[in-house]
Chains A and B, each alone.
Chain A
Amino acid sequence: GQNIDQPTEMTATEGAIVQINCTYQTSGFNGLFWYQQHAGEAPTFLSYNVLDGLEEKGRFSSFLSRSKGYSYLLLKELQMKDSASYLCAAPHFGNEKLTFGTGTRLTIIP
């Protein structure tokens, strides 16, 4: 199967930390991407995990467990500009197709 699931909406406070989870059916996928999409704009690349573990990139970190079909995006020191949709996406083994989850709309409040 190729289901990718993530929460629809989340709210967090400026300066705090938020974790956005993504689960997927493990067969056929080669790692996991995270993209950020501001309203009315195209998605922009945040991270790609192909191996298990945590990868840190400034205020953003992404984690992957391939055996569990689980990933999360961790955002620290939240800023108002982090209000956006966060999309997880999985590339397929053997081809270049990328399947997206429905996205998590994150709202940062003061």
Chain B
Amino acid sequence: GAGVSQSPSNKVTEKGKDVELRCDPISGHTALYWYRQSLGQGLEFLIYFQGNSAPDKSGLPSDRFSAERTGGSVSTLTIQRTQQEDSAVYLCASSLGTSGNTIYFGEGSWLTVV
């Protein structure tokens, strides 16, 4: 596609429910990233994929968070048993996959846990 596409753009969920966030990267981009940004804060790295494998999962905050990528394209970030502190915007980005390549961001999925 023309840009990184994320869905849903907004999600309000009750504490304890599971949520799934989807990211469709730019066509041909092998690297895909998930970041989290809380209100007024910087970008917190969660995980990145090179193809379908995740060389670096170091940023996932807890075992409630997981992500997968299939077919070297679409990725889903799943948050189980959501907590209020999970409220943030979840940003997906993609790049051509070589160190130093520009990373392009999607518009983000705004998650509110009530």
Contacts and interface: CB of A to CB of B under 8 A. Distances in A.
Nearest to B96: A96
Nearest to A29: B99
A30 interface: yes
Contacts, number: 60
B85 to A, nearest CB: 18
B95 to A, nearest CB: 6
B71 interface: no
A100 B43 CA distance: 6
A10 interface: no
B95 A96 contact: yes
A33 interface: yes
Contact of A95 (B56, B103, B106): B56
A45 B94 CA distance: 12
Interface in B91-109: 91, 95, 97-108
Given A30-B99, A31-B100, A97 B105 contact: no
Given A30-B100, A48-B100, A91-B99, A97 B45 contact: yes
Contact of A44 (B31, B41, B55, B105): B105
Interface of A: 30-31, 33, 41-45, 48, 50, 87, 89, 91-103
Given A31-B100, A42-B106, A98-B103, 5 more contacts: A30-B100, A94-B99, A96-B33, A97-B33, A97-B56
24 contacts: A31-B100, A33-B102, A33-B103, A42-B107, A42-B108, A45-B102, A48-B100, A50-B100, A87-B43, A89-B43, A91-B99, A91-B100, A94-B99, A95-B55, A96-B33, A96-B50, A96-B97, A96-B99, A97-B33, A98-B33, A98-B45, A99-B45, A100-B35, A103-B43
